[in-house]
Structures are given as C-alpha cells and as structure tokens.
Structure 1
Amino acid sequence: MWNKGGKKWNLPFTKQQAVCIAAGMGLYAAMAITSGLRGGSISDEGGLKRAGPGQGETIYDIEVSGLDKKEQHRKVPVRIPVSERRYSEKEAKKLFEQLKPRLEKEMLGDNESFAAIRSNLNLKKSLGEYGVKLRWESDNPELVDSLGGVHNETTKEKGESAVLRVSASDGRHEYTYEFHLTVYPPFLTPEEQAADKFLTWAGKEDLKQQTEDSLILPTIYDGQKLNYYLPKDGSYRLFPVLGLVMAALLHIKKGVDKQNQAKKREQQLLFDYSEVVSKLVVYIGAGLTVRGAFERISAGYEAGIREGKRETRPAYEEMLKTVSQLNSGVSEGRAFGEFGRRCGLQSYLKLSTLLEQSQKNGSRQLRQALELEMVSAFEQRKNLAKKLGEEAGTKLLLPLFFMLAEVMVMIVVPAFLSFY
C-alpha cells in the first residue's frame, strides 16, 4: 500500500491476517444482530417452548425485569427448567392404538408371523421418539422369556403356545398389549436333523452304559456303517505364521539393538572427550610429546581394565588402536587422523586435526589450543548430562501414568460398587 507521498506503508499485519480479523468482526456483527432479534420479550413470542414427549426437560437462561422493586428496569438473570410436554388423554389413546402395528412388526424379528415362531424375538425396552417405555412379561418363560429369547430346542413338532404381554407407559398413561404365540422347533438341515437324532440316541445309550468304564458307540446305526474320528487340532497351523513374525521381530530387534549400541557408544565418547583432552593437557604440559601422552593414557587405561577398576570405554579403545598403529610404524599424523575418523564425532575430528597440525607446524601452540578445547569439552559434557537427565524424567512419565491409573481404579471401583 502506498501513501500520497509515494512511500510504501509497512502494515503491521499481512493480508491473510487482515482477512481473519475482518471475518471475525463480520461474524461478531452477524451474531450480535441475530441475538438482538432473538432478545425481544418472551411474552410476545408465546412463552418458553417445551420439548416433545420423551426428550427431557429444557433449561432456559433468561433475564427478568421487574423483580427488583427499587430498579424496575434492572434485568435479573434466571435459569428456568421447563419439563417435557405430556400427552393428553385423547393423544395417549390415539398413540397407543397406532403403536400396536409397529410393535407387531418389529418384535417378530426373523419370524414370519406369531403363528410360527422359530427364532428369537426383538423386544425393545422403549420407544424413545414417542417417550414410551415398554415392560414385557411371559406366561411361559421357559419357552419364551421376557427378553425375547426363544427356547425351542426340545419343543414338539406340533408346536407349543405362549402369551406375551407388554405394558406401554408414557409416565402418566398406561396401556397393555397381548400377543399370542405358537412356537415350533427350529429349522434343521437334513444333516442337522440326522446329527440331532443320533445325539438323542447316544444320550440314551449313555444312560444305559453308566456302569461301564467308557461309552461304546455302535459300528452300525440305522442300517449304515459308522466310523468315528477325533477332529484334528488346527491350532498348530499358526506356528509357521508365528515363526515368520518372530523372524521379522528379531530382524527389527537386531536393527534397534544396533542403533542403541551406536547411540550408547556416541554418548560414552562424548562423556570421555573432556577427560581425554584434560589428560592430554596435563601430560603435554609435563613435557611429554603427543605420542608419549597417548601411550601413557593408554597404559593407565589397560592397567585399570586388568585390575577391574575400569570398564571398557570406546574413546580409550580407539587410543589403544592408535598406539598400536604408532608402534607398528604408522606415521603420527596418519595415526591421529584415523583416530578421529574412527571415533566419528565432530569433537574428536577437531582434536585429531589439532594433533595433526602440531606434527606439521610444531607443538608450540598445541597446549593453549587444547586448554581452550578442554573448557569447551567440559561445557559440552555438562549440557549432555542435563539432556540425559531430562530424558530420564520423560521416561518416568509412563510408569507414573500407570500408577495414577491404578490409584484411580482403586478409588473409583469401590465407589461404584457401593451403589449396588
């Protein structure tokens, strides 16, 4: 945007921010206008509207003027609960008459009619859209229970009768329906019928042979020769899949272990860096050469390992390799360069560069450079220790959450059980 002088104005916000601000103000204005339109006198609009039957009460937050005798125009906030609308006698009678065909249709479930019940019924506890609750009763619960279960395993072929009664209530009015049912045995395939017949026969044989050690099954039944087999256990088929899964998990574990080992080695190298540099400063300051300092540090490390006073540390192991290279005739510059590359960290690469330069340019400035590097190394070690402490605290959050969940269960479960 440009001003009259031809200079460009620097707006305090971007176009997108301006659009967001304008949209917010526009929505505020629209809601304010809508609220103003709705904020008229309730008495002019016909009062507080009730919810329909079965929808529960409605809470209205309104403002009432005239309650304060001193300040008649002062609006007092009031929260008024308005109960749901109830059916009148005429409405309830009409509703109950209309509900019977719907109940008949829904309660049948997979059955064709009340005269041929072979499977479970669909008995609802309520019709929420009408605000009507249902209570079912059966005169033969061993055949048809009040939950809709049909127990027709031993029902005779000619069928058996049962009566279901349901009381429908909207809270004030109540109406009772009665349904007459004829229950038949469930449909069975020829194979199922043959198996059911054989099972009945086997049950009788079991009663006859109760004094025997085992149940002897017939080889000839209904004119047919029978052979008996135990079903194969198919659970072992899962073993190849489990083997593949375990192989995949082991491969993943190998990669994860390798990453963890690399991370652990890197942390140990960073922790030991300040110690290595400080020892080099001490030995070089005492008059030893860089090679002599390496040999003295490596010898002290080896002695500590033999006596069991020290654990294996990657930085000192690389120093041992460097000393071995020097003893085998490798030049000092090359040996120190490979030491840094084997460690692989920026700090060790910097140290190896300083040591290589000292071989080319002399060791006059080496001690001073190492002292500066030692200060930086100790600061780096302090930051690493702080970071590891924060990570340890983060890892403790998961067990703390588990403990919190356990405590909540110990508190909440007894509280719930006390209500029963």
Structure 2
Amino acid sequence: MDKRKKWLLAGCLVVSGVAAAVWLKGYLEVQEPVRVLERNPPGGGDEEIQMELRTELGNFPVNFQLAERSYREEELEAVFERGVQWLDDVWLGENVSAEAVTDNLVFPTRIESLGLDIHWETENYRWIHTDGTLTAEARETAPLDTTVRAVLSYGDSEHIVDYPIRIVMPEKDAKTAFGDAVTEVLDHLQTEQKTASELALPEKIGDVSIRWYGRQNSIWSKIFIFGNICLVLLYFQQEERKFERMKAREEGLRRDYPEIVYRLVLLIGSGMTVRAAWEKVITDYQKWRKRTGENRWGYEEMEMALREMNYGIPELKAYESFGKRCGTQGYIRLSSLLIQQVKRGARGMNSLLAQEVGEAEVLRRENARKSAEEAGTRLILPMILLMTVVFAVLMIPAFLSMNL
C-alpha cells in the first residue's frame, strides 16, 4: 500500500471515530425537557425553532416561527424618543444645518435596532421627493422654507416629528464665483458690442485686475506618446525585418542544398579532391554572381568556408563550421560526409554520397511542391480582384439598363 492510500485510510478512520464519539455522546446524554423559549428583543426578528415533541403516542418533529417580543405600552414612549434621537443624527445627510440645506436629505424607512418603521411626508413634492432628493425646481427657486414630516410607527402606535428646513443655493468657492463673473461680463460685452468688428476685452472684473493671453496648446504629451509609439513600432519593424531575413536565408539554404550536393558529388566522383571540388563550385558561383548580380545563401556560406581555408584554418574545421553555420540537418550531414571523405578517401563513401544525392532529390521535389503551393496562395488576392472587376463589368451595365 502506497503512502497516499495509507493517509486516506487514516483520515477515514479519524472521521469515523469522531462521528461515532459525537453520536455516542448524544445517545448517552440525558436531555432535560424545555419549558421556556426566550424570544428575540423587539427589532431582533422572528426565529426558526425546531423541536421534538415526545408523547405516549410517539415522537413528533415540530417546526414553528418564534415571534420577537413586542413592546409594552409603557415602553413605547421611551422607544419613540430613542428613535427620534437616532433620526436627528441621520436625516440631514451631508448638510450641516437645517437652516442651510444644499444637498439631498436622507430618509431612512426603518430603524432595525428598535424595530420602528418610518414614513416620510413632504410639504411640497415639487421641491423634495419622499426619498429625500431635492428637485431641480427647488434648487432654482432657492432660498425657500418648507417642512418635512417623519412618522415613526410600531404596530398601531405612531409618533410624528416635523423638521422645518430652509433650502438655499450652495455657496460657490472663490474660483467658481470668479469664473461665473467672467462669463457674465463677457456675455454683457458681447451684447453691447455686437455691431463692432472687434471685441474689447475688460482689464478688470470686480476688484481683480486681469490680462488676457491666447491659449497655447501644449503638444509635449502628444510628442511623448507618438514618439514612443513610433519607437516601439520601429523596434518591431526591425525585428520583423530580422525575422524575414532569417526566413529568407533558411529558404535560400533549403533551395540551394540539392544543387550543391549534386555538383559536389559529380565533381568528387570524377576524381577531384573535396577541396578542389569545393573551389570549382565557388569559382563557377562567383562567375554567375558577377554576371547576374544576385546572391545565393548556400554558395555564400561555401565561399566563407573557402575563405577560412585560405586564411589558414584547417580544411576539416572549415567544413565543420560550414555545417554549423547553415544549421539545417542536411548541411550538417553533408559536412560530416565531406569530413569522412577527406579522412578515409573514396573507400565506402561513394554509397553514402549516392544516398545523399537521393535524399537531395527528394528535398528538391519537396521544395518545388512548396513553391507551387506558395505561388497558388499568392495568386488568391489577384484572382479576387480580377473577379471583382469582371463582376463590375458585367453588373454595372445591367443595372444601368434596368434604370433606363
């Protein structure tokens, strides 16, 4: 038994033991009959009671709601007073005084701790809603005096409290008041000088001397954001170009590989040494490059390997570096075969080189197939554009003739 199963078995035993102990304790415990149930205080809410009734006829489960205790008549006056005290601290909300009400009032509908319900009435519902919200009409016509009434109730008993209030306009800070004054002065000047070709701006508003300037739109934030976006896009563009160059190099190496293998095997099979065959391939490539002005990745890597040999790097090391730089499995395998050819000579290598030629032929066909598929994909967009032009040529005259 592994450790996890042992832990699982031990846990089951512990849980079963605890459950058995709890059951045994309840079974052996002598229960006293319950004769009194304590109610929740007023406002505490009803309580769900689950009991068992034991009689000579058997045991019966009994479930019922135990209602909270109700206030006695002599308690209600003190409870209403406590409710009014709680309400006095709440109903003004953010307002400092009832003599200067500028914000919405707070009208609670129940005092949970006392079990009291509250109903609100306003003298004019066009000024104050029953939820304590000041209307736009009240704010526009302020200052004005009105009264709100709170009706505290418990069962059939009620207690009424009236709150006289004065709704006023909120005081503006110095900056807001000055801005309103500027707007008022400009409106007045516009009216006075509406026929003039120029608007004379005031040099003083109230006791404040002012000077007017054209607002300069700060573009530093735009330069910062746009510049950083351009840098990020430039970075990704460079990365994309790097990726495209690497992809083009891999594609070029893949296309050049079959041809390089064919030429090397042909020259080596004709009796040339590996280095002589290598130099012959590079010489022919240099003539082709001079004539066409184009480069081919596989031959460029071969030329670099030949340059290393000419600089004194051992031939075997140059072939090994050539395979590592190209990085593909085919080139690594080719460099290995060439190294073995140099070390061992022609014995046993002709078959390996012939096998490599066969694999290169398969790769050449695969390259041709991929090129054909890519060419077909690239032709999809021109075909769609051509079909659009054809549909336009066919349909436009038809629609024109129908309108005629």
1:13 corresponds, among 3, 28, 37, to 3
Partner of 2:165: 181
Describe the shift of the 1:247–1:179 C-alpha distance in structure 2 as closer, same or farther (beyond 3 A): same
Q: Quick one: which amino acid aligns to residue 338 of structure 1? A: S
Distance in 1, Cα, partners of 2:69 & 2:307: 105
Residue in 2 aligned with 1:414?
A: none
Q: Which runs of 5+ in 2 are unaligned?
A: 53-57, 367-404
SS of alignment partner, residue 146 of structure 2: strand
Per the alignment, in what secondary structure is the counterpart of residue 171 of structure 2? Answer: coil
Unmatched tracts of structure 1, length 5 or more = 1-10, 65-71, 307-311, 382-420
Q: 5 Å matches for 1:368-383? A: 368=352, 371=355
Indicate whether 1:160 and 2:148 are aligned.
Answer: no
Q: Distance in 2 between matches of 1:265 and 1:50?
A: 87
Match of 2:299 in 1: 320
Task: Say which of 235, 245, 249 aligns to 2:228.
Answer: 245
- 2:3 is paired with a residue whose SS is coil
- Taking the aligned partners of 1:348 and 1:54, their CA distance within structure 2 comes to 89
| Percent of aligned positions that are identical | 17
Say yes or no: does 1:104 pair with 2:88. Answer: yes
Q: In the TM superposition, what is the alpha-carbon distance from 1:256 to its structure 2 partner?
A: 5.0
Displacement, 1:354? 2.9
- Displacement of 1:186: 2.4
| Structure 1 pair 163–278 and aligned structure 2 pair: CA distance change class (3 A) | farther
Partner of 2:14: 26
Number of residue-to-residue matches in the alignment: 336
Partner-residue secondary structure (3-state), 1:108: coil
Amino acid of the residue matched to residue 165 of structure 2?
L
SS at match of 2:212: coil
In the aligned structure 2, how far is the partner of 1:203 from the partner of 1:322? 81
Query: How far 1:114 moved relative to its partner?
Result: 1.9
Match of 1:353 among 304, 328, 336: 336
2:164 partner SS: strand
Q: Which moved more, 1:332-341 or 1:120-129?
A: 120-129
Determine if contact 1:118/1:185 at 8 Å carries over to the other structure: yes
Q: 1:57 to 1:349 in 2, by over 3 A?
A: farther
Alignment of 1:8-407 (within 5 A): 12-13=2-3, 22-23=10-11, 25-27=13-15, 29-30=17-18, 98-123=82-107, 138-140=122-124, 144=128, 146=131, 148-149=133-134, 159-165=143-149, 178-197=162-181, 199-200=183-184, 202-203=186-187, 217-222=201-206, 225-234=209-218, 236-243=219-226, 245-246=228-229, 249-250=232-233, 253=236, 257=240, 260-261=243-244, 264=247, 272=254, 276=257, 280=261, 284=265, 288=269, 291=277, 295=281, 317-325=296-304, 330=309, 333=316, 335-344=318-327, 348-366=331-349, 367-368=351-352, 371=355
Take 2:257 and 2:196, find their aligned partners in 1: how far apart are those partners?
86
Cα drift, residue 204 of structure 1: 5.4
Instruction: State the shift of 1:321 in Å.
Output: 1.3
Q: Structure 1 residues 160, 58: CA separation in 2 closer, same or farther (over 3 Å shift)?
A: same
SS of match in other structure, 1:341: helix
AA in 2 matched with 1:181:
I
Distance in 1 between residues matched to 2:15 and 2:82, nearest whole Å: 46
Work out whether residues 193 and 199 of structure 2, in 8 Å CA contact, stay in contact via their aligned partners in 1.
yes
Q: What is the TM-score normalised by the length of structure 1? A: 0.50
Contact 1:319 1:339 in 2 (8 A): no
Report the CA distance between 1:268 and its aligned residue.
5.4
What is the rounded CA distance, in whole Å, between the counterparts of 1:165 and 1:13 in structure 2?
A: 74
Cα offsets for 1:196-232 (capped at 9, x unmatched): 4554555555566677788765445446654334554
Q: Is the 8 A contact 1:125 1:133 kept in 2?
A: yes
Say which is worse superposed, 186-195 or 163-172, in terms of deviation: 163-172
Q: Is the CA contact 2:40–2:69 (under 8 Å) kept in the aligned structure 1?
A: no
Aligned-CA RMSD value: 6.6
Deviations 1:159-213 (A, max 9, x none): 4223345678999999876533222332344555455455455555556667778
Supply the distance in 2 between the matched residues of 1:148 and 1:333 (Cα, whole angstroms). 93
TM-score, with normalisation over the residues of structure 2? 0.52
Partner Cα separation in structure 2 for residue 251 and residue 351 of structure 1: 39
Name the CA shift for 1:225/1:187 in 2 (closer, same or farther; >3 Å): closer
